[in-house]
Amino acid sequence: MTCAEQHGNAYVRIGVTGSGQKPCYRVCYKSADGSETVYGSYWDNHDPLEISDAVTPNWSSASMDFGQVDAFLKEKVNWKKG
């Protein structure tokens, strides 16, 4: 959410290879010139990845934008707008 608020957009990629002990995810945004910038890379418990774990080619080529992630989470917890 903070990435989307700061940069006007955000999307997530999932780590697809590695030790397989924990899933990880990467939050990115598109700059005004269309280039991808990494906002942060995190373990499943939201702790930041060490740079050696974060800077690898092990990220999915598919992504979900902020709206898609938000809708997915709301559906899973049966969130109803008050």
Which residue, 35, 4, 9, 11, is CA-closest to 25?
11
Using a cut of 0.85, tell me whether the model's pTM lies above it. no
- Cα-only R_g, the chain: 14
Sheet with 36-43: strands ordered across: 36-43, 24-30, 11-14, 64-65
pLDDT, tens digit, 9 for 90 and up, residues 20-35: 666 789 999 999 999 9
Q: What is the pLDDT of residues 41-66, one digit of tens each?
A: 998 888 998 887 788 888 888 999 99
